[in-house]
Amino acid sequence: MEILDLSLIELVQRLSERSIDPSTVLDAYFQRVKRLDPKIKAFIDIEYDRLVSQLGHLGSIGTDKKLQGAPIAIKDNICVKDVYATCGSRILRSFRSPYDATVVQKLRSAGAILFGKTNMDEFGMGSSTENSAFFPTRNPWNLEYVPGGSSGGSAAAVSSIQVPAALGSDTGGSIRCPASYCGVTGLKPTYGLVSRYGLIAYACSLEQIGPITRSAEDCRLLFQVILGEDPLDPTTRPIPEKMRDNMASASSPLKIALPQAFLSEGTAPHVQKAVLDASERLTELGHIVEETSLPYLDAALPAYYIIAMSEASSNLARFDGVRYGPADPEVAGNPNPIYREHIERYRRKYFGDEVKRRILIGSHTLSAGYYNQYYMKALKVRRLITNAFHTVFKDFDAVIGPTMPDVAFRLNERVTDPIAMYLTDIFTVPVNLAGLPALSIPCGFHQGLPIGLQIIGPSFSDFKLLTLAEQFQGITSYHRQRPPL
Amino acid sequence: MGLAALHFEANEERKVRKWIDQVLDWFRQLDKINDIIQDVPPQMAPILLPPKKPPLKQTLGKEAVLENAPETEDGYIKTARLT
């Protein structure tokens, strides 16, 4: 079997047995990157010498590590010591992180090779990776289409087998959207299970780092490595005892809800059909799927954007051309610029339009005169959505539905219409508002483009969701399809 | 644009106004559920955690910080000249 055909689990097993050499694995993947990435453009930064230099470290850590020599790509908003962390932004173009994110340290300890930084929408703001300041990433299934976002580089790299697995981050669907569009498996973990230390913040109360892989089994492996309470991130929580019990696959019939609102007229007919077909497969596996209602879904989207933009306007205040960003004497246009003028002009020059839009609107929704009209109202809707999920989870173990209302769209199709872009997030953002775990797995194709099934569960049900996804992938082959490259 | 710390040229005003109006109009659809949410308590974060104090952590040494700065002079980080 070719190296590139091996799953992450198989690869680690061969590396641990020493039946293949880590440098051979690196070479195989790097050759693939050299051949494919000039057209897909999944990576912002990848250096062969830096990859090879990590091999020396492997010799000293033994042969029983969970990721023993496996290459893992990292989204470019996650800090790796001495490596660029651009966040897809011109303002951080020359920034090298002086420390490792906690998840990166965990990968290193598990024996992973950190395999390049992946492209993303600037600061995670977008659903297509077209908002990267450097270049758009293309969908491996059809290069004229977007890969989704904001972790589009990570999903495209995994889908095109340029790397066996990657890390992304998910603020409102940024792991699940590109996983759906690129036909791979992506997990947004329960809020507080994975440390955000070293994740460059966009909206702290919403985002989590998570794995993007070719299968649910691989996803479980990578998730097991990165999860855990971290004293450096006070919002992390200890893994509850009941969750530890579910870490290994265990199966019992589940009661699964399919909210009618997920299959309304806004969802493309071919996506509706794929989700209904998937629900039949789950029934064949012995699970019970029932339609139910999930109220206030329409309100979740504007509430999410109010909260995300408000938090972004605060988090991005530090990017001012003094604390971050290279000095640019031409910005102010005069030899003795005052501080405030410099910041305002610097940010105008170095931020992209979508970032400026979100900072502007977020500053407005947080401002004294409008706080109650927008931000406070959004926080109340957040409670409504969380309660609506709690009500459903009194009777059900999981919720299924489409990850996205349709398959990927064409490049440039929506760049001039922000609302149209925001509307594609309708099924993913409620999960972030409530801090729940959710997976996207491939469940069909339409005109050669993948369709994603979203599986949502109550807090700490992450492993249960992975088990359900593994069972689904055990009787379907959508996740084994490869793009025609 | 004071609060956002973003400068815009006069000829960009129409574009920026459109950005804001378009999205704020869309946000105002939440007014339709004013009655429903009136007595709902706001939720700031997914979960309410007891406040935790991050541990004291060794900071980066001066050399590491200077090495990371784009420009340095005489042991200081050199930034833009501002008054």
Angle between helices B13-27 and A297-315 (to 10 degrees): 140
Would the CB atoms of A339 and B5 count as touching at under 8 Å?
no
Of B30, B52, B70, the CB nearest to A326: B70
* Most confident of the following: A53-57, A62-66, A377-381: A377-381
Instruction: Give the pLDDT mean for A451-455.
Output: 98
* Residues of A assigned a catalytic role: 75, 150, 174
Question: What pLDDT, on the 0 to 100 scale, is given for residue B70?
Answer: 83
pLDDT > 70? residue A12: yes
Would the CB atoms of B80 and A299 count as touching at under 8 Å?
no
For residue A51, name the pLDDT band (cuts at 50, 70, 90): confident
- Which residues in chain A have Cβ-Cβ distances shorter than 8 Å to B37? 377, 380-381, 384
Burial zone of A348 (CB within 10 Å; 0-12 exposed, 13-18 middle, 19+ buried): middle
Q: Which token pair is A444?
A: 């069909």
Cβ-proximal residues to B20 (8 Å cutoff; 6+ apart), any chain? A360, A361, A364
Would the CB atoms of B51 and A234 count as touching at under 8 Å?
yes
Q: Which residue of B has its CA nearest to A370?
A: B24
Would the CB atoms of A347 and B40 count as touching at under 8 Å?
no
For residue A195, name the pLDDT band (cuts at 50, 70, 90): very high
- Average pLDDT, rounded, for chain A: 94
pLDDT > 90? residue B54: no
Tell me the shortest Cα–Cα distance from A347 to chain B, in angstroms.
Answer: 6
- Which residues in chain B have Cβ-Cβ distances shorter than 8 Å to A425? none
- Which residues in chain B have Cβ-Cβ distances shorter than 8 Å to A319? none
Q: At A56, which helix (H) or strand (E)? A: helix A55-58
Residue labelled with tokens 């797995």? A441
Do strands A185-188 and A208-213 pair parallel, antiparallel, or not at all (unpaired)?
A: antiparallel
- Which residues in chain B have Cβ-Cβ distances shorter than 8 Å to A232? 54-55, 57
Q: Which amino acid is at A281?
A: R
In order of A132, A161, A410, the CA distances from A138 in angstroms are 12, 14, 10
Question: What pLDDT, on the 0 to 100 scale, is given for residue A61?
Answer: 63
pLDDT tens-digit map of A72-115: 999 999 999 999 999 999 999 999 999 999 999 999 999 999 99
pLDDT tens-digit map of A361-410: 999 999 998 999 999 999 999 999 999 999 999 999 999 999 999 999 99
Would the CB atoms of A377 and B51 count as touching at under 8 Å?
no
A124 closest CA partner among A178, A190, A187, A72 = A178
Q: Which residue of A has its CA nearest to B20?
A: A361
Q: Which residue of A has its CA nearest to B37?
A: A380
Within a 10 A sphere around the Cβ of A139, how many other Cβ atoms? 31
Q: What is the ipTM of this complex?
A: 0.94
In order of A226, A233, A234, A239, B51, the CA distances from B54 in angstroms are 20, 7, 6, 18, 10
Tell me the shortest Cα–Cα distance from A303 to chain B, in angstroms.
Answer: 7
- Which residues in chain B have Cβ-Cβ distances shorter than 8 Å to A318? none
For residue B11, name the pLDDT band (cuts at 50, 70, 90): very high
Would the CB atoms of A361 and B51 count as touching at under 8 Å?
no
For residue A213, name the pLDDT band (cuts at 50, 70, 90): very high
Would the CB atoms of A234 and B23 count as touching at under 8 Å?
no
Tell me the shortest Cα–Cα distance from B38 to chain A, in angstroms.
Answer: 8
SS3 A41: coil
Would the CB atoms of B6 and A459 count as touching at under 8 Å?
no
Tell me the shortest Cα–Cα distance from A339 to chain B, in angstroms.
Answer: 5
